[in-house]
Structure 1
Amino acid sequence: MTIERNKIYTILFLACLGGFTWILVSANHLASTDASVCIVKNVTGLPCPSCGSTRSVLSLFHGDLAGAFYWNPLGYIITITMIAAPLWILLDIIRKQDSLHRFYCKVECFMRQKSVFIPSILLVAANWVWNIMKDL
């Protein structure tokens, strides 16, 4: 079951807009405090698999590739998505195409395969363990 084109474009655009807003707000917040905004970490004391993603994206925007990887490798995926998705949506609207939607559908089908899904979950779990070991 795939999401219809307009719905996925709206969700992606709003997610990217929220992401850029979060990055702008966090850039000042993270520089001035060590407090965590992660609900999982604040409740359990343990970082979640995505802890460090904001600092990773900020590191990438500052050109610090090694720092970005240290904070959270997921930051690379988030950054690429935040930059590419709005541009791709805009191009599809201008060209009256649905190439992003077709790509999304292909990725969704690809990710549903056990041979892809299980290793992906294991990589996220390994990232989580790494975040815990780093005491993020």
Structure 2
Amino acid sequence: MSTTSAHQSAPGPQVRPGARAAWEYRWTRIAGGRYGGPLRVLLRGSGAGVLAVAAAEVHATHDPGVLCPLRRFTGIPCPGCGSTTVFMELGAGHLGAAVAANPVTVLVGLGLLFAPLGGGKWWWRLPTRQKNVVIFTAAAVSWAWQLHRYGFLPT
């Protein structure tokens, strides 16, 4: 068989047909949390904690101000506003302030942290329409929280 066939002109390494399937299977098992779930949670949590503490320390010495472009230019917060604050407040050890900044971000972050334990399997079984409803609802709740937090909604 010739080594200069048409399918070899594609970028990237050449993979044996069976090797690709084996690699995909192995990756789905690792990503699915079947290998060392609690260890993966510990590693994710430790890594996020170290980054949060370092970012909080940098933020304490140099505050960049408002990072959200929508809020910076219009004054109106977006549904994701407060997410950076959540990270900074957790790094500084202020759990209450982190939850007050954006509780939806805290919940999503915890969900991502504990995903290797298999708690997110229900998500992948949902039809796309239901996933979209969950995402839209979370974004709407987050935006209502931000609008209330910044005084755009009556109390």
Return the TM-score normalized by structure 2: 0.49
The structure richer in helix per residue is 1
Question: Measured at CA, do residues 20 and 43 of structure 1 come closer, stay the same or move farther in structure 2, by a change above 3 Å?
Answer: farther
1:36-47 equivalences under 5 Å are 36-47=66-77
CA distance in 1, matches of 2:145, 2:85: 16
Which one-letter code corresponds to 2:59 in the other structure? L
Task: Using the aligned pairs only, state the percent identity.
Answer: 22
Which residue, 110, 133, 136 being the options, matches 2:148?
133
Return the TM-score normalized by structure 1: 0.53
Aligned to 1:95: none
CA distance in 2, matches of 1:45, 1:51: 11
Gaps of 5+ in 2: 1-23, 32-44
1:110 to 2:126 alignment: yes
CA contact (8 A) 2:85 2:101 kept: yes
1:38-77 equivalences under 5 Å are 38-77=68-107
Q: Rg larger in 1 or in 2?
A: 2
Number of residues of Structure 1 aligned to a counterpart in Structure 2: 116
Which one-letter code corresponds to 1:30 in the other structure? H
Deviation at 1:44, TM superposition (A): 3.1
Which one-letter code corresponds to 2:141 in the other structure? A
Gaps of 5+ in 1: 10-15, 89-98
CA contact (8 A) 2:111 2:120 kept: no
Which one-letter code corresponds to 1:51 in the other structure? C
CA distance in 2, matches of 1:41, 1:5: 43
SS at match of 1:57: helix
Deviation at 1:58, TM superposition (A): 3.3
CA distance in 2, matches of 1:5, 1:38: 38
Question: Measured at CA, do residues 64 and 24 of structure 1 come closer, stay the same or move farther in structure 2, by a change above 3 Å?
Answer: closer
Deviation at 1:71, TM superposition (A): 0.4
Higher RCO, Cα 8 Å, sep 6+: 1
Question: Measured at CA, do residues 53 and 66 of structure 1 come closer, stay the same or move farther in structure 2, by a change above 3 Å?
Answer: same
Which one-letter code corresponds to 2:83 in the other structure? S
Pairwise CA RMSD? 4.2
Which one-letter code corresponds to 1:107 in the other structure? W
